[in-house]
Amino acid sequence: MKTLENFRIVLVEPQHPGNIGAAARAMKAMGLSDLALVAPRSFPHADASARAAGADDVLQAATCLDTLAEAVADCQLVVGASARARRLAWQNLDPRQAAQEACATAGKVAMVFGRERSGLRNDELDLCHRHLMIPANPEYASLNLAAAVQVVCYELRMAALGEQVPAQSSVGEQVELARVEDIEGFYTHLQEVLVASEFLDPEKPRKLMRRLRRLYNRAELETTEVNILRGILTALDPRKSQS
List, for residues 208-220, the tens digit of each pLDDT value.
999 999 899 888 8
Domains of the chain (ranges; CATH) run: 4-161 (3.40.1280.10), 180-242 (1.10.8.590)
**3-state secondary structure at position 115:** strand
pLDDT surpassing 50 at residue 17: yes
Nearest to 150 by CA among 26, 25, 15: 26
Other CB atoms closer than 10 Å to residue 41's CB: what's the count? 13
- The arithmetic mean of pLDDT across residues 159-185, rounded, is 71
Which strand (E) or helix (H) includes residue 99? helix 95-103
Spatial distance between the Cα atoms of 51 and 149, rounded to a whole number of angstroms: 14
**Considering the entire predicted model, what is its pTM?**
0.83
Kindly provide the b/e burial profile for residues 172-186, where b requires at least 16 CB atoms within 10 angstroms of the residue's own CB: eeebebbbbebbbeb
Q: What is residue 63's DSSP assignment?
A: E
Amino acid identity of 66? D
Angle, helices 145-161/17-29, rounded to nearest 10 degrees = 20
- The arithmetic mean of pLDDT across residues 6-18, rounded, is 97
Report whether 220 contacts 75 (CB < 8 A).
Answer: no
Q: Give the model's confidence band at 152: pLDDT under 50 very low, under 70 low, under 90 confident, else very high.
A: very high
More confident residue, 213 or 174: 213
Q: How long is the chain? A: 243
Spatial distance between the Cα atoms of 86 and 239, rounded to a whole number of angstroms: 36
pLDDT of 64-115, one tens digit each? Answer: 999 999 999 999 999 999 876 656 666 689 999 999 999 999 899 999 999 9
Q: Give the model's confidence band at 169: pLDDT under 50 very low, under 70 low, under 90 confident, else very high.
A: very low
pLDDT surpassing 50 at residue 206: yes
